[in-house]
A and B are shown apart, each in its own frame.
Chain A
Amino acid sequence: MRAVEDAVGVKIPDTARIMRNLLHGAQFQHDHIVHFYHLHALDWVDIVSSLSADPKKTATLSENVSNAPWGGSTYYKNVQQRLQTFVDSGQLGPFNNAYWGHPAYKLPPEANLMASAHYIEALRLQAKAARMHAIFGAKNPHLQSLVVGGITSVKDLTPDRIAEFLYLTKETQDFVNNVYIPDLLAVASFYKEWGAIGGTTNFLAWGDLPLSDKEPESLYMPRGVIMKRNLGGVKMAKQEKVTEHVARAWYEKGSPKHPYKGETKPIRKDPKYRPDGGKYSWFKAPRYDGEPCEVGPLARVLVAYAKGHKDIKAVVDSTLKKLGIPVTALFSTLGRTAARGLETVAIGNAMQGWVMDLVKNVKDGNTKTYQPWKMPDKATGLGLNDVARGALGHWIEIENKKIKNYQYVVPSTWNLGPRCEKGKLGPVEEALIGTPIADPKRPIEVLRTVHSFDPCVACGVHIIDPDSNQVYKIKVL
């Protein structure tokens, strides 16, 4: 959408900008909660161990660490009973055959029970939070109100709709501040060694959430690039420096290209998996100035922190202090998982102000949500975004009013892409090197790092045990 808007030269009205930001912000709130509780927590939380917890002690623990609106020993007894009934049924469903009881699980049973209860609460909360998207975007997932030139849901700019949105964002943010963050800190305090595992080197954020029509100056999450972990050397990121390599990906031979010149020519045969020197991925390998870059919450938070972003700096500093770990611990699996929660605090808190900006516009009669435009015969355009998973760029070339070329470089391509022409590893590949693994047949440690990137693919990972030289195929799902 932004790429086409750039190409046809249309600026969206201010009210449309705010509505888009609200939808985008809601996506951060929703996605990050689901990622933490439902796609990542069970790498750290042993749900089976919670069956042996003392509900009373769990209630005390919960009161000490969080401001969750539910709790008390009866509550935890009921949750435990529910899980016990489920286990006794003999149908373990999604919890069957995982790494329960693995020595890498460090939480005491009570902390496991608390987190398991919140896993279930979060399942309900996320369904409610998704209603924010439906209010101005018709439905979730796949909202359907965004069009080139603005947004179509002008009829929903009514006090009741806006109020409903406000209260949903507040309720969601209460969960973030009172449950998600306390849980994150409680779990992290048992896994501090993960502040030195799973890090990468370079970080790229296109930034997003514009607070005016000036980009990138007004982006709430700023644009920038950090090379070699040098926070002091944070620079403005330039899209001209992006290339994509296909040397190790299942595409026809080609030199590294900028997306405007990009080609997508998949090989026309059954692709063979050849990680030792050949092709082994459907992902191209994106590079910035020739280097691989991690994108996502950690990259965004590091860029914002390095630029002295007030809200981000406050939450990062207080978290480091609470956990008693240095800034360098951010370059890790733990840092990545923490950054996701911390940016949710900043963005979710800011959203409440944006709702008030919308109210002001409506009050002033400024309800223009769409700017008409004309399709040119020939044009090029690009759109740089930062979505929940990371930096997302779209590039379009228009000819005869039709798409001549369209390329996008998405977050998981940056993070999970293979080696490039020069043999440099992709970020996830790099992050996994040196991961200590207690039991190669049950490599929960690998899951922790891969999941911390919030990959949008069920990806294949291989590790080799240097002693037996046995190759273990690990599917990270």
Chain B
Amino acid sequence: MEKEKEFYKRLEKKGVSRRDFMKYCTFLTATMGLSSSFVPKVAEVFAAPTQRPPVIWLHFAECTGCSEALLRSMYPWVDQLLLEVISMEYHETIMAAAGHQAEENLHNAVKKYNGKFICVVEGAVATKYNGGYGKIGGKTFLDIAKDVCSKAAAVICMGTCSAYGGVQAAKPNPGGYKGVGDALGIKTLNIPGCPPNPINFVGTVVNYLLLGKLPDLDSLGRPLFAYGKTIHDQCPRRSHFENGEFVEEFGSEEAAIGYCLYKVGCKGPETYNNCPIVKFNEGTSWPVEAGHPCIGCSEPDFWDKMSPFYEEM
């Protein structure tokens, strides 16, 4: 209780009322597909966590866009996430340690929390030439992944690269890049997207903290609460599709009205994600709202299968 009170006091100092905070928890609870009776419990996870679960975040072949996406989390703010909700034991971009000390951190955390930590992976794993196309400190991504993932309580693939290979795996894929599940032959929880919406990562972690288990997944390892429906089925421009009202050229009158982007290449009908509902950067926008067709970035092999991006499917 004390901790909870302190938390709300701190929030108010930052200009966030308890009411705003509960509003966010309701939003998050709904995003996760839980009933509203879970709202107080979700709030509890942020306000007074009994423990901070250890997270080990690995970087392989990637652009760090998924880490950047996590930094854009606004409720909880990323400093709350890092200081009060989870314990980020290893993360190459944000950790202060470097070199041998950094490697020591990874080694010690894996040992200390063996079987208990959440392993988050960002980036694809090189598999050709014994994994030679991707190394950190002389060790291949493949060896690091084998070692760390096998000791984790769960492996969460953050982004399309770690989930399915991403851009590195696009033809001709000289390094033999694969998603983590494929490379290691294990089951992973996948939060694809380029980058994914941080709310879907937070939702997954909260689900784990709250219910002690990971959320239900589809056949591609994606949480159903976020990836259960297509973009097309949730699109606010859907009625224009039904009415045959299409944008045929960017910047046109039809584009200014906000007609359907199907004819300029929108891949929404084949893409499963909740972008139209949760949107990005505190609900500011998402690609179709900005007049740009969906490129299917959360689907496996989207670079090869969804391109050309600007031609009708």
> Does B105 lie within 8 Å of A96, measured CB to CB?
yes
> Does B65 lie within 8 Å of A152, measured CB to CB?
no
| Among candidates B98, B281, B286, B290, residue contacting A131 with C-beta atoms closer than 8 Å | B281
B312 at the interface (CB under 8 A from A): no
> Does B98 lie within 8 Å of A138, measured CB to CB?
no
Query: Of all chain B residues, which has the CB nearest A447?
Result: B98
Contact with A along B257-298 (1 / 0, CB 8 A): 110000000000000000000001110111101111001000
B116 at the interface (CB under 8 A from A): no
Interface residues of A in 336-394 (CB under 8 A from B): 367-372
A-B contact count (CB 8 A): 208
Known contacts A144-B295, A156-B285, A370-B250; A269 and B129 CB within 8 A of each other = yes
Residues of B within 8 A of A140 (CB): 68, 72, 280-281
| Total contacting residues, chain B, CB less than 8 A | 71
| Among candidates B59, B77, B137, residue contacting A473 with C-beta atoms closer than 8 Å | B137
Residues of B within 8 A of A123 (CB): 71, 77-79
| Total contacting residues, chain A, CB less than 8 A | 70
Interface residues of A in 432-475 (CB under 8 A from B): 441-443, 447, 456, 458, 460, 473-475
Known contacts A135-B285, A152-B255; A94 and B290 CB within 8 A of each other = no
B101 at the interface (CB under 8 A from A): yes
Interface residues of A in 95-148 (CB under 8 A from B): 95-99, 120, 123-124, 126-128, 130-131, 133-142, 144-145, 147
Alpha-carbon distance A141/B102, docked complex (angstroms): 26
- Interface window among A34-42, A192-200, A418-426: A34-42
**Nearest CB on A from B240, distance (A):** 13
> Does A154 lie within 8 Å of B285, measured CB to CB?
no
> Does B54 lie within 8 Å of A475, measured CB to CB?
no
**Nearest CB on A from B13, distance (A):** 7
Known contacts A86-B83, A138-B287, A155-B258; A130 and B72 CB within 8 A of each other = yes
> Does B130 lie within 8 Å of A270, measured CB to CB?
yes
> Does A94 lie within 8 Å of B284, measured CB to CB?
no
Alpha-carbon distance A98/B97, docked complex (angstroms): 4
Residues of B within 8 A of A96 (CB): 89, 95-97, 105
Contact with A along B137-161 (1 / 0, CB 8 A): 1100000000000000000000000
Contact with A along B99-133 (1 / 0, CB 8 A): 11111110000000000000000000000011011
Known contacts A96-B89, A124-B79, A368-B251; A154 and B132 CB within 8 A of each other = no
> Does B256 lie within 8 Å of A154, measured CB to CB?
yes
B194 at the interface (CB under 8 A from A): yes
Q: Which among A96, A128, A271, A474 has the greatest number of chain B C-beta atoms within 10 A? A: A96
> Does B99 lie within 8 Å of A136, measured CB to CB?
no
B174 at the interface (CB under 8 A from A): yes
> Does B291 lie within 8 Å of A154, measured CB to CB?
yes
**Nearest CB on B from A397, distance (A):** 18
Q: Which among B10, B102, B256 has the greatest number of chain A C-beta atoms within 10 A? A: B102
Can you show 27 pairs from A to B with CB atoms below 8 A apart?
A93-B82, A93-B83, A94-B95, A95-B95, A96-B95, A96-B97, A96-B105, A97-B97, A126-B72, A127-B281, A130-B281, A131-B282, A134-B281, A137-B290, A139-B284, A139-B286, A145-B290, A155-B258, A156-B285, A266-B133, A266-B175, A268-B174, A269-B132, A370-B252, A456-B64, A473-B99, A475-B100
Closest 5 pairs between A and B when the two form their complex, measured CB to CB:
A370-B251, A270-B132, A139-B280, A98-B96, A134-B284
15 additional contacts (CB under 8 A) given A47-B96, A96-B89, A98-B98: A13-B251, A38-B94, A91-B54, A93-B95, A98-B97, A99-B97, A120-B79, A123-B79, A130-B281, A138-B292, A139-B286, A140-B68, A142-B194, A142-B195, A155-B257
